[in-house]
Amino acid sequence: MNLNDLRVLKTKSLFHQTLVKLLKDKPLESISVSEICKLANVNRGTFYLHYDQKENLFEEYFMKVMKDLEDSYHKPYKNLPIQPHEVSPSSLRIFHHVQKYSDFYKIVFSAKASMSYYYMFYDKIKSLLEEVIQLYEEENMNIPLYSSYQANALIGMIMQWAAEDFSYSVEYMNEQYAHFLRMDPR
């Protein structure tokens, strides 16, 4: 199977969209392959041509979202020798990413979602922060502790934004995050 074939890409995109729709109402464990196929209007044989099980579909979609998150996070730092607190709000792309995948983030941060979604997202954010923070290591800074602190702060902002149904603009979220990064806690 050619993974760059337009038909394959469209089918996988349809499966991703269908999975997100179903996850809005129930956890992955309660979703069947039959439900996915019925809602997607695709037969089970097509599903099994692409995935061994529904968990593989979720993992593929999650990895797609995390790849976009990584690209969005790194964008302001590419080819620029700037520290996180020097980033311009207009160059931040993480909230654009969250808005693009807002349905997914509503699921991840809903009260009925598995905590494993949260921790998978947390681990990704923390590792992204550690990469950038290590470039600007300060004396006496415990990088794992600091990146954990920053990861939870950023996730807290995203959770609050999702809880308020993304009522703030991306620009406002960028401005607030940049403002928080510039604050000197000393």
- Co-location of 37 and 83 in the same domain: no
- Return the higher-pLDDT residue of 91 and 183: 183
The mean pLDDT value for 26-37 works out to 94
Kindly state whether residue 56 falls inside one of the protein's structural domains.
Answer: no
Confidence at residue 31, expressed as pLDDT on a 0 to 100 scale: 95
**Virtual torsion, Cα 117, 118, 123, 129, nearest 10 deg:** 130
Kindly state whether residue 128 falls inside one of the protein's structural domains.
Answer: yes
- Return the higher-pLDDT residue of 83 and 70: 70
The mean pLDDT value for 153-170 works out to 95
- Co-location of 87 and 176 in the same domain: yes
| 168 close to 86: Cβ distance less than 8 angstroms | no
User: Considering just the CA atoms, what is the radius of gyration of the chain in Å?
Assistant: 19
- Co-location of 93 and 159 in the same domain: yes
Q: What is the b/e burial string over 98-128, where b = at least 16 CB atoms within 10 angstroms of the residue's CB?
A: bebbeebbbbbbeeeeeeebeeebbebbbeb
pTM listed for this prediction: 0.83
- Co-location of 65 and 19 in the same domain: no
- Co-location of 38 and 65 in the same domain: no
Structure tokens at 147: 């990146």
Least confident of 19-28, 127-136, 169-178: 127-136
The mean pLDDT value for 26-31 works out to 91
Supply the range of the domain harboring residue 14: 1-51
Kindly state whether residue 23 falls inside one of the protein's structural domains.
Answer: yes
- Co-location of 26 and 112 in the same domain: no
Instruction: Show contacts of 63-68: CB within 8 Å, 24+ apart.
Output: 64/16, 65/101, 65/104, 66/120, 66/121, 66/124, 68/97, 68/100, 68/101
- 33: domain CATH number is 1.10.10.60
- Co-location of 94 and 156 in the same domain: yes
* Rounded Cα distance, 156 and 163, in Å: 10
